[in-house]
Chains A and B, each alone.
Chain A
Amino acid sequence: MAKTQEMAQRPSTDPRVRGPAEGQAQRARESSYALAPPADIFEDADGIGIMLDMPGVTKDRLTVKADRSELVIEGDASIDMPTGMEAAYAEIRSAHYRRSFTLTNELDADAIEASMKDGVLSIRIPKRAELKPRHIEIQAT
Protein backbone atom coordinates (compact mmCIF):
# COMPACT_ATOMS: atom_id res chain seq x y z
CA MET A 1 0.00 0.00 0.00
CA ALA A 2 1.60 3.24 -1.10
CA LYS A 3 1.44 5.86 1.56
CA THR A 4 1.69 9.28 0.04
CA GLN A 5 2.58 12.42 1.89
CA GLU A 6 -0.93 13.66 1.38
CA MET A 7 -2.41 10.66 3.08
CA ALA A 8 -0.03 10.92 5.98
CA GLN A 9 -1.03 14.50 6.60
CA ARG A 10 -4.69 13.93 6.32
CA PRO A 11 -6.39 14.78 9.61
CA SER A 12 -7.31 11.48 11.12
CA THR A 13 -10.74 10.95 12.49
CA ASP A 14 -11.34 8.42 15.14
CA PRO A 15 -12.87 5.59 13.23
CA ARG A 16 -13.46 2.87 15.67
CA VAL A 17 -15.45 2.56 18.71
CA ARG A 18 -12.86 2.64 21.41
CA GLY A 19 -11.55 4.33 24.47
CA PRO A 20 -9.86 7.72 24.46
CA ALA A 21 -6.62 6.62 26.10
CA GLU A 22 -4.89 5.33 22.97
CA GLY A 23 -1.56 6.86 22.07
CA GLN A 24 -0.68 9.20 19.25
CA ALA A 25 1.73 6.73 17.66
CA GLN A 26 -0.95 4.13 17.33
CA ARG A 27 -3.29 6.65 15.83
CA ALA A 28 -0.70 7.60 13.22
CA ARG A 29 -0.07 3.96 12.36
CA GLU A 30 -3.74 3.26 11.88
CA SER A 31 -4.44 6.31 9.77
CA SER A 32 -2.86 4.65 6.74
CA TYR A 33 -5.23 1.71 6.94
CA ALA A 34 -7.93 2.27 4.33
CA LEU A 35 -11.08 0.33 3.64
CA ALA A 36 -11.94 -0.44 0.02
CA PRO A 37 -15.65 0.33 -0.23
CA PRO A 38 -17.73 -2.32 -2.04
CA ALA A 39 -18.75 -1.20 -5.53
CA ASP A 40 -21.38 -1.90 -8.15
CA ILE A 41 -20.32 -1.05 -11.68
CA PHE A 42 -22.56 -1.02 -14.71
CA GLU A 43 -22.52 0.25 -18.25
CA ASP A 44 -25.26 1.53 -20.50
CA ALA A 45 -25.31 3.33 -23.82
CA ASP A 46 -24.27 6.68 -22.33
CA GLY A 47 -21.47 5.63 -20.03
CA ILE A 48 -20.36 3.87 -16.89
CA GLY A 49 -22.04 4.10 -13.51
CA ILE A 50 -20.39 3.29 -10.20
CA MET A 51 -22.03 3.02 -6.79
CA LEU A 52 -19.93 2.74 -3.65
CA ASP A 53 -20.92 2.08 -0.04
CA MET A 54 -19.24 4.65 2.18
CA PRO A 55 -21.30 4.91 5.37
CA GLY A 56 -20.61 7.99 7.50
CA VAL A 57 -19.00 9.97 4.69
CA THR A 58 -20.54 13.33 3.87
CA LYS A 59 -20.02 15.43 0.77
CA ASP A 60 -17.47 17.70 2.41
CA ARG A 61 -15.30 14.80 3.57
CA LEU A 62 -15.06 13.17 0.19
CA THR A 63 -12.69 13.65 -2.74
CA VAL A 64 -13.21 12.23 -6.20
CA LYS A 65 -10.23 12.83 -8.46
CA ALA A 66 -9.84 11.81 -12.07
CA ASP A 67 -7.18 12.18 -14.67
CA ARG A 68 -7.00 10.44 -18.04
CA SER A 69 -6.05 7.08 -16.64
CA GLU A 70 -7.30 6.86 -13.09
CA LEU A 71 -10.28 7.64 -10.93
CA VAL A 72 -9.47 7.90 -7.22
CA ILE A 73 -12.09 8.06 -4.50
CA GLU A 74 -11.19 8.90 -0.93
CA GLY A 75 -13.38 9.72 2.02
CA ASP A 76 -13.45 9.94 5.78
CA ALA A 77 -16.41 8.85 7.83
CA SER A 78 -17.55 10.98 10.71
CA ILE A 79 -19.20 8.96 13.40
CA ASP A 80 -20.97 10.51 16.38
CA MET A 81 -19.54 9.02 19.53
CA PRO A 82 -20.31 10.08 23.07
CA THR A 83 -17.30 11.09 25.15
CA GLY A 84 -16.02 8.48 27.51
CA MET A 85 -17.29 5.57 25.50
CA GLU A 86 -15.39 2.32 25.70
CA ALA A 87 -14.94 -0.05 22.80
CA ALA A 88 -16.65 -3.35 23.13
CA TYR A 89 -16.77 -4.85 19.69
CA ALA A 90 -15.72 -3.62 16.25
CA GLU A 91 -16.22 -5.01 12.77
CA ILE A 92 -15.40 -1.71 11.05
CA ARG A 93 -11.92 -0.71 12.06
CA SER A 94 -11.12 2.26 9.93
CA ALA A 95 -12.95 5.42 8.97
CA HIS A 96 -10.83 6.03 5.91
CA TYR A 97 -12.06 4.76 2.57
CA ARG A 98 -10.02 4.61 -0.58
CA ARG A 99 -10.52 2.95 -3.92
CA SER A 100 -9.25 3.60 -7.42
CA PHE A 101 -10.33 2.52 -10.86
CA THR A 102 -8.50 2.58 -14.17
CA LEU A 103 -10.10 4.74 -16.84
CA THR A 104 -9.81 4.14 -20.52
CA ASN A 105 -9.80 6.81 -23.19
CA GLU A 106 -13.28 6.30 -24.57
CA LEU A 107 -14.55 7.74 -21.30
CA ASP A 108 -14.81 11.46 -20.74
CA ALA A 109 -12.93 12.11 -17.50
CA ASP A 110 -13.74 15.83 -17.61
CA ALA A 111 -17.46 15.20 -17.45
CA ILE A 112 -17.60 12.89 -14.42
CA GLU A 113 -20.47 13.59 -12.06
CA ALA A 114 -20.76 12.41 -8.48
CA SER A 115 -23.41 12.59 -5.78
CA MET A 116 -23.62 11.37 -2.21
CA LYS A 117 -26.77 10.22 -0.43
CA ASP A 118 -27.17 8.20 2.77
CA GLY A 119 -23.60 6.97 2.59
CA VAL A 120 -23.84 5.79 -1.01
CA LEU A 121 -21.65 7.52 -3.58
CA SER A 122 -22.95 7.48 -7.15
CA ILE A 123 -20.57 8.30 -9.96
CA ARG A 124 -21.39 8.73 -13.61
CA ILE A 125 -18.67 8.62 -16.25
CA PRO A 126 -20.04 9.53 -19.67
CA LYS A 127 -18.59 8.15 -22.87
CA ARG A 128 -17.10 10.66 -25.25
CA ALA A 129 -19.83 11.96 -27.51
CA GLU A 130 -18.12 10.75 -30.69
CA LEU A 131 -17.96 7.22 -29.29
CA LYS A 132 -21.55 6.82 -28.21
CA PRO A 133 -23.50 4.38 -30.31
CA ARG A 134 -25.38 6.45 -32.83
CA HIS A 135 -28.75 5.81 -34.19
CA ILE A 136 -28.57 6.10 -37.94
CA GLU A 137 -31.60 7.36 -39.72
CA ILE A 138 -32.68 5.44 -42.73
CA GLN A 139 -33.74 7.82 -45.44
CA ALA A 140 -36.85 7.14 -47.31
CA THR A 141 -36.37 7.36 -51.03
Chain B
Amino acid sequence: MFSSQPGNGGLIQEFWRLEQEMDEMLGRWAWPLGIRSTARGTFPPMNIGVTPDNVEIYFFAPGLDPKSVEVSAQRNVLTIFGERQVPARTETTWFRKERFEGPFRRVINLPEDVASDRIRARYQDGILYVTAERPESAKPRKIEIS
Protein backbone atom coordinates (compact mmCIF):
# COMPACT_ATOMS: atom_id res chain seq x y z
CA MET B 1 0.00 0.00 0.00
CA PHE B 2 2.79 2.42 0.92
CA SER B 3 4.65 1.83 -2.29
CA SER B 4 1.73 2.26 -4.63
CA GLN B 5 1.37 5.43 -6.65
CA PRO B 6 4.40 7.34 -5.36
CA GLY B 7 4.19 11.07 -5.65
CA ASN B 8 0.51 11.01 -6.33
CA GLY B 9 -0.76 13.06 -3.43
CA GLY B 10 1.05 11.19 -0.68
CA LEU B 11 -0.16 9.05 2.17
CA ILE B 12 -3.03 11.16 3.36
CA GLN B 13 -4.63 11.08 -0.02
CA GLU B 14 -4.03 7.37 -0.21
CA PHE B 15 -5.90 6.82 3.05
CA TRP B 16 -8.66 9.08 1.90
CA ARG B 17 -8.96 7.11 -1.31
CA LEU B 18 -9.11 3.84 0.65
CA GLU B 19 -11.85 5.20 2.84
CA GLN B 20 -13.82 6.31 -0.18
CA GLU B 21 -13.41 2.88 -1.68
CA MET B 22 -14.66 1.21 1.49
CA ASP B 23 -17.67 3.44 1.64
CA GLU B 24 -18.47 2.78 -1.95
CA MET B 25 -18.17 -0.95 -1.50
CA LEU B 26 -20.21 -1.34 1.62
CA GLY B 27 -22.37 1.57 2.38
CA ARG B 28 -23.49 2.42 -1.08
CA TRP B 29 -26.45 4.31 0.20
CA ALA B 30 -26.36 6.60 3.13
CA TRP B 31 -29.03 5.04 5.29
CA PRO B 32 -31.54 7.65 6.33
CA LEU B 33 -30.66 7.54 9.99
CA GLY B 34 -31.62 11.16 9.96
CA ILE B 35 -31.24 13.47 12.85
CA ARG B 36 -31.07 10.55 15.27
CA SER B 37 -27.85 9.21 13.83
CA THR B 38 -25.02 8.83 16.29
CA ALA B 39 -21.27 9.10 16.12
CA ARG B 40 -19.27 6.21 14.78
CA GLY B 41 -18.34 3.88 17.58
CA THR B 42 -21.69 4.02 19.36
CA PHE B 43 -22.60 0.78 21.11
CA PRO B 44 -23.89 -1.46 19.70
CA PRO B 45 -22.57 -1.11 16.13
CA MET B 46 -25.08 -2.21 13.52
CA ASN B 47 -25.44 -3.34 9.93
CA ILE B 48 -28.62 -3.10 7.90
CA GLY B 49 -29.70 -5.17 4.90
CA VAL B 50 -32.85 -5.25 2.83
CA THR B 51 -34.68 -8.14 1.20
CA PRO B 52 -37.94 -7.83 -0.77
CA ASP B 53 -39.89 -8.90 2.30
CA ASN B 54 -37.93 -7.63 5.27
CA VAL B 55 -35.49 -5.13 6.63
CA GLU B 56 -32.78 -7.02 8.54
CA ILE B 57 -30.91 -5.21 11.26
CA TYR B 58 -27.88 -6.68 13.01
CA PHE B 59 -26.72 -5.29 16.31
CA PHE B 60 -23.29 -6.47 17.39
CA ALA B 61 -23.93 -6.55 21.10
CA PRO B 62 -22.02 -9.33 22.86
CA GLY B 63 -22.46 -10.28 26.48
CA LEU B 64 -26.02 -9.07 26.94
CA ASP B 65 -28.79 -10.58 28.92
CA PRO B 66 -31.57 -10.68 26.30
CA LYS B 67 -34.06 -9.89 29.06
CA SER B 68 -32.42 -6.53 29.58
CA VAL B 69 -32.93 -5.40 25.97
CA GLU B 70 -36.07 -3.87 24.55
CA VAL B 71 -36.94 -3.52 20.89
CA SER B 72 -39.87 -1.36 19.84
CA ALA B 73 -41.21 0.41 16.79
CA GLN B 74 -43.51 3.32 16.27
CA ARG B 75 -44.38 3.98 12.66
CA ASN B 76 -40.99 4.00 10.95
CA VAL B 77 -38.86 4.60 14.02
CA LEU B 78 -37.23 1.53 15.51
CA THR B 79 -35.67 1.80 18.94
CA ILE B 80 -33.54 -0.60 20.92
CA PHE B 81 -32.39 0.09 24.40
CA GLY B 82 -30.88 -1.84 27.24
CA GLU B 83 -27.96 -2.09 29.52
CA ARG B 84 -24.76 -4.05 29.48
CA GLN B 85 -23.58 -4.94 32.91
CA VAL B 86 -20.01 -5.93 33.49
CA PRO B 87 -19.62 -7.89 36.71
CA ALA B 88 -17.88 -5.88 39.39
CA ARG B 89 -14.55 -7.28 40.46
CA THR B 90 -12.90 -6.52 43.70
CA GLU B 91 -9.24 -6.80 44.50
CA THR B 92 -8.22 -6.42 40.92
CA THR B 93 -6.09 -3.95 39.04
CA TRP B 94 -7.47 -2.83 35.71
CA PHE B 95 -5.10 -2.27 32.83
CA ARG B 96 -7.58 -1.78 30.04
CA LYS B 97 -11.28 -1.09 29.91
CA GLU B 98 -12.15 -0.82 26.25
CA ARG B 99 -15.42 -2.73 26.32
CA PHE B 100 -18.65 -0.83 26.53
CA GLU B 101 -20.39 -0.75 29.89
CA GLY B 102 -23.70 0.77 30.95
CA PRO B 103 -26.97 1.75 29.31
CA PHE B 104 -27.33 2.13 25.55
CA ARG B 105 -29.96 3.26 23.06
CA ARG B 106 -30.08 3.31 19.29
CA VAL B 107 -32.84 4.72 17.14
CA ILE B 108 -33.22 3.96 13.45
CA ASN B 109 -35.42 5.52 10.82
CA LEU B 110 -36.73 2.72 8.66
CA PRO B 111 -37.53 3.51 5.04
CA GLU B 112 -41.20 2.76 5.58
CA ASP B 113 -43.65 2.19 8.39
CA VAL B 114 -43.54 -1.15 10.13
CA ALA B 115 -45.94 -2.48 12.68
CA SER B 116 -44.58 -3.43 16.07
CA ASP B 117 -46.21 -6.82 15.82
CA ARG B 118 -44.37 -7.42 12.55
CA ILE B 119 -40.95 -7.27 14.17
CA ARG B 120 -39.07 -10.33 15.31
CA ALA B 121 -35.90 -10.28 17.35
CA ARG B 122 -33.55 -12.99 18.49
CA TYR B 123 -30.21 -13.03 20.23
CA GLN B 124 -27.49 -15.45 19.24
CA ASP B 125 -23.73 -15.55 19.89
CA GLY B 126 -23.69 -11.90 20.84
CA ILE B 127 -25.62 -10.62 17.82
CA LEU B 128 -29.12 -9.23 18.14
CA TYR B 129 -31.01 -10.02 14.91
CA VAL B 130 -34.02 -7.81 14.28
CA THR B 131 -36.27 -8.57 11.33
CA ALA B 132 -38.89 -5.98 10.44
CA GLU B 133 -41.48 -7.11 7.93
CA ARG B 134 -42.06 -4.55 5.21
CA PRO B 135 -45.65 -3.53 4.60
CA GLU B 136 -47.41 -5.05 1.59
CA SER B 137 -47.47 -1.68 -0.10
CA ALA B 138 -43.68 -1.42 0.03
CA LYS B 139 -42.88 -4.90 -1.27
CA PRO B 140 -41.85 -5.13 -4.89
CA ARG B 141 -44.70 -6.52 -6.95
CA LYS B 142 -44.51 -8.52 -10.09
CA ILE B 143 -46.85 -7.11 -12.66
CA GLU B 144 -48.47 -9.61 -14.93
CA ILE B 145 -48.47 -8.80 -18.61
CA SER B 146 -51.74 -9.78 -20.10
Task: With both chains docked as a complex, state the minimum distance between the C-beta of B79 and any C-beta of chain A, in angstroms.
Answer: 16
Within 8 A of A (CB), among B24-63: 25-31, 33, 40, 45-52, 54-56, 58, 60-63
Task: With both chains docked as a complex, state the minimum distance between the C-beta of B41 and any C-beta of chain A, in angstroms.
Answer: 9
Task: With both chains docked as a complex, state the minimum distance between the C-beta of A14 and any C-beta of chain B, in angstroms.
Answer: 11
Task: With both chains docked as a complex, state the minimum distance between the C-beta of B23 and any C-beta of chain A, in angstroms.
Answer: 9
Residues of A within 8 A of B96 (CB): 39-41
- Contact flags B74-95 to A (C-beta < 8 A → 1, else 0): 0000000000001001011111
Partner of B63, one of A18, A42, A57, A119: A119
Partner of A38, one of B25, B47, B61, B100: B100
Query: Quick one: closest B residue to A22, CB to CB?
Result: B25
Q: Are B126 and A40 in contact (CB under 8 A)?
A: no
Pair count A-B, CB < 8 A: 137
Apart from A18-B26, A52-B99, A53-B126, what 16 extra A-B contacts exist at CB < 8 Å?
Answer: A26-B25, A38-B98, A40-B86, A42-B95, A44-B92, A55-B62, A57-B125, A77-B127, A80-B124, A85-B51, A86-B49, A87-B49, A90-B26, A118-B63, A119-B61, A119-B126
Query: Which residues of A does B touch, CB under 8 Å?
Result: 16-18, 22, 26, 38-45, 49, 51-58, 77-82, 84-93, 117-120
